[in-house]
Chains A and B, each alone.
Chain A
Amino acid sequence: MRYAARKIIMLVVTVLAISFVVFLAFSVIPGDPALTILGGQTDPARVEALREQMGLNAPLPVRYVRWLRSFLAGDFGMSYRYSVPVSRLLGEKIPITLILTLESFLFMLLISIPLGIYSARHAGGRADRALVILNQIIMAVPPFFSGILITFFFGMLLHWFVPGGYVSWRVSLSGCVGYLVFPAIAIALPKSAMVVSILRRSLLKEARLDYVRTAYSRGSRTNYVLYRHMLRNAMGPVVTFLGMAAADMVAGSIIIEQVFGIPGLGRALLTAIANRDYPVVEAIIVLISVLVVASGAAVDLICRRLDPRISLD
């Protein structure tokens, strides 16, 4: 429990640090937000009045604390571009990114853990050698290219899904999850290949240890030794990687959303960057950072719960 508490404190500190850096970065960029909203040629007095009203004249730390307080309350400011609250723009999009990441993580586990065990169980065999080579190749295919390949083969040739036919989760949750299956696979593929090779390597390392020989000499069968003894011990490196992979997948969803035309946080971020809509950019980056850090920590904590001996410091 102490471990969890420390982890959560670290998480809060990290998120605060990131939010401060992001806030700082977006306050020092050239350009006056008040001027942006009012447009180029306006009466300086009006600009000054708006600056005062927006609280832009207060010192930086004061502005940060104000910004943080309203951010925590769910008020992410107003979009320069659309003049609506940022929270209204993003509220719809957060679940999309969440579902996509969760789905990809699930696919990664479903694909990689059985394959990794199989590969190690039959190490040196024909299937294992083929898997090792296939793994190396899959790791080299970036998700956005496998996404394009999937769109071409499963979308355009086989018509298993309609490219660009995203269904909002508000309309139909199952339809949304269904459409996200292929994008999730595209994200999960390279990560699965990595997990397979990490698990395989870790299991083979474990196989050389004394306790395995002892177990065999007691007359235990291979499967028993593998599932009851080795697997637990071999999960360490895998778990470390899973935490990192979860964080990476949140960021990876930004690109995949573009490939499959999914209107999630990543899409919104790109539009906001193109429009120089800084409050929206700022809010999305902080939100994605929170997701990134939290998902990494969540994976660590869950795995720790499953196997208390794993220490992740």
Chain B
Amino acid sequence: MVIDMTGILNWKTESGKTNWYLVLGTGITGFVLSLIFIGLLHPPYDIEAMDTAHKFAGGSLRHLFGTDNFGRDVFSRVLAGGFTTMKIAAGTVAVGLLGGVLIGAVTGYFGGLTDELLMRINDTLFAFPSVLLALVIVSLFGSGTSHVIWALGIAFVPSFARMVRSEFLRYKNSDFIAGAKLQGAGALRIMTHHILPNAAPVLMSSVMIGFNNAVLAEAGLSYLGIGVQPPEPSLGSMLSEAQSYLVSAPLYAAGPGLMIIFMVLGFSLLAEGMSREQLSGAWF
């Protein structure tokens, strides 16, 4: 399946103005990703290296966001935590997307009783906040990275399924599909080669929203202490730790907090910049 990226990344709106959402979103996400990448290859400090002589050091050029209660460099840990969050977000979106495309494609294309039944279940799950569903799964199977990915991924399936289904409904009766059928294309081929590529722009926008929500949900779960478990660094658990030292080291909380904000901001701007409404220049 070939997805035409030129249909997704439109740097200009239809009226010829610069698509600022996409430009800024790409810039911020690129900045965050390159920071994380640098943190992977050359972390400024070892994230586990403790230096009790320099506990709660303030911000300086040596330690951009100071050090934590064990004297570990906060900035290095933020980069590592960012990678953990990104990893989980990618896994979550992959699970959600796979499930969503499967369910959405089948229900949208074939319709009938399966559609009715699956969509009823889907709508019930859709009304259920993802954090709550994740809490149920984590409380049953325990916490940890892979459980968080499955928990959030499953929680994300309904929204993807809904969106994919509506795209399939949109195209299934169009002329070019009738043409493909006349040429003898089977249902599977039509779905994967004819409808899915057309749904790609909308899909990409939803993927970005998915990343946005996954980052928020993962950070929330880890903040509650039921997501990623130490020693694996995570932005959420750093924040919850930093909260106990707000008086002595206010900068400690700023590090992971800013990282989450930049990640979410980048993804939400990307999603906005890729959406159809934005391109038609209907507003702003």
Which of B132, B219, B250, B253 meets A142, CB within 8 Å?
B219
B214 at the interface (CB under 8 A from A): no
B224 at the interface (CB under 8 A from A): yes
Task: Give per-residue flags for B115-138: 1 if the beta carbon is below 8 A from chain A beta carbons, else 0.
Answer: 000000000100111011001101
B223 surroundings in chain A (CB, below 8 A)? 144, 255, 258
Asked whether B127 lies within 8 Å of A205 as measured between CB atoms, the reply is: no
B250 surroundings in chain A (CB, below 8 A)? 152
Asked whether A142 lies within 8 Å of B268 as measured between CB atoms, the reply is: no
Asked whether B128 lies within 8 Å of A255 as measured between CB atoms, the reply is: no
Q: Which residue of A lies closest to B236 (CB)?
A: A144
A313 and B156 alpha carbons, distance in the complex (Å): 21
CB distance from A243 to the nearest CB of B (A): 9
CB distance from A130 to the nearest CB of B (A): 13
Asked whether B135 lies within 8 Å of A25 as measured between CB atoms, the reply is: no
A201 surroundings in chain B (CB, below 8 A)? 277, 282-283
B262 surroundings in chain A (CB, below 8 A)? 140
Which of A22, A137, A293 meets B136, CB within 8 Å?
A22
A25 surroundings in chain B (CB, below 8 A)? 136, 140
Q: Which residue of B lies closest to A258 (CB)?
A: B224
CB distance from B72 to the nearest CB of A (A): 20
Asked whether B127 lies within 8 Å of A247 as measured between CB atoms, the reply is: yes
A141 and B257 alpha carbons, distance in the complex (Å): 8
Task: Give per-residue flags for A151-178: 1 if the beta carbon is below 8 A from chain B beta carbons, else 0.
Answer: 1100010000000000000000000000
A139 and B127 alpha carbons, distance in the complex (Å): 21
Asked whether A14 lies within 8 Å of B268 as measured between CB atoms, the reply is: no
Q: Total interface residues on B, using CB and 8 Å?
A: 39
Chain-B contact segment, one of A88-96, A217-225, A281-289: A281-289
A142 and B250 alpha carbons, distance in the complex (Å): 18
A201 and B224 alpha carbons, distance in the complex (Å): 35
A255 and B269 alpha carbons, distance in the complex (Å): 25
CB distance from A203 to the nearest CB of B (A): 10
A180 at the interface (CB under 8 A from B): no
B246 surroundings in chain A (CB, below 8 A)? 148, 151-152, 156
B265 surroundings in chain A (CB, below 8 A)? 136-137, 140
B269 surroundings in chain A (CB, below 8 A)? 136
Task: Give per-residue flags for A246-272: 1 if the beta carbon is below 8 A from chain B beta carbons, else 0.
Answer: 011011101100110000000001100
Asked whether A254 lies within 8 Å of B135 as measured between CB atoms, the reply is: yes
A3 at the interface (CB under 8 A from B): no
Asked whether A18 lies within 8 Å of B247 as measured between CB atoms, the reply is: no
Q: Is the interface of A mostly helix, strand, loop or mixed?
A: helix
B226 surroundings in chain A (CB, below 8 A)? 270, 273
A156 surroundings in chain B (CB, below 8 A)? 246-247
Asked whether A273 lies within 8 Å of B135 as measured between CB atoms, the reply is: yes
A38 at the interface (CB under 8 A from B): no
Which of A136, A137, A140, A292 meets B129, CB within 8 Å?
A292
CB distance from A256 to the nearest CB of B (A): 10
CB distance from B283 to the nearest CB of A (A): 5
B203 at the interface (CB under 8 A from A): no
B216 surroundings in chain A (CB, below 8 A)? 142
Q: Which residue of B lies closest to A155 (CB)?
A: B246
A156 and B253 alpha carbons, distance in the complex (Å): 14
A289 surroundings in chain B (CB, below 8 A)? 128, 132
A144 surroundings in chain B (CB, below 8 A)? 219-220, 223, 239
Which of A139, A149, A152, A273 meets B268, CB within 8 Å?
A139
A127 at the interface (CB under 8 A from B): no
B282 surroundings in chain A (CB, below 8 A)? 201, 204-205
A48 and B257 alpha carbons, distance in the complex (Å): 52
Asked whether B264 lies within 8 Å of A140 as measured between CB atoms, the reply is: yes
Asked whether A205 lies within 8 Å of B283 as measured between CB atoms, the reply is: yes
B274 at the interface (CB under 8 A from A): no
B40 at the interface (CB under 8 A from A): no
B138 surroundings in chain A (CB, below 8 A)? 273
Q: Which residue of B lies closest to A143 (CB)?
A: B220
A252 and B219 alpha carbons, distance in the complex (Å): 13
B261 surroundings in chain A (CB, below 8 A)? 137, 140-141, 145
Asked whether A255 lies within 8 Å of B124 as measured between CB atoms, the reply is: no
Can you list 28 contacts pairing A with B, beta carbon distance less than 8 Å?
Answer: A14-B124, A17-B124, A26-B140, A29-B140, A136-B272, A141-B261, A144-B219, A144-B220, A145-B239, A152-B250, A200-B283, A201-B277, A204-B282, A205-B282, A205-B283, A244-B127, A247-B129, A250-B129, A254-B132, A254-B135, A255-B131, A255-B224, A258-B240, A269-B135, A270-B225, A270-B226, A273-B138, A285-B132
Q: Taking beta carbons and an 8 Å cutoff, which residues of B are in contact with A?
A: 124, 127-129, 131-132, 135-136, 138-140, 216, 219-220, 223-226, 239-240, 242-243, 246-247, 250, 253, 257, 260-262, 264-265, 268-269, 272, 277, 282-284
In the A-B complex, the 10 residue pairs with the closest CB atoms: A251-B129, A140-B265, A140-B264, A273-B139, A145-B257, A251-B132, A204-B283, A140-B261, A251-B131, A255-B220
Given contacts A251-B132, A254-B135, 9 further A-B pairs with CB under 8 A are A136-B269, A139-B268, A140-B261, A141-B264, A145-B253, A152-B246, A248-B129, A252-B131, A285-B135
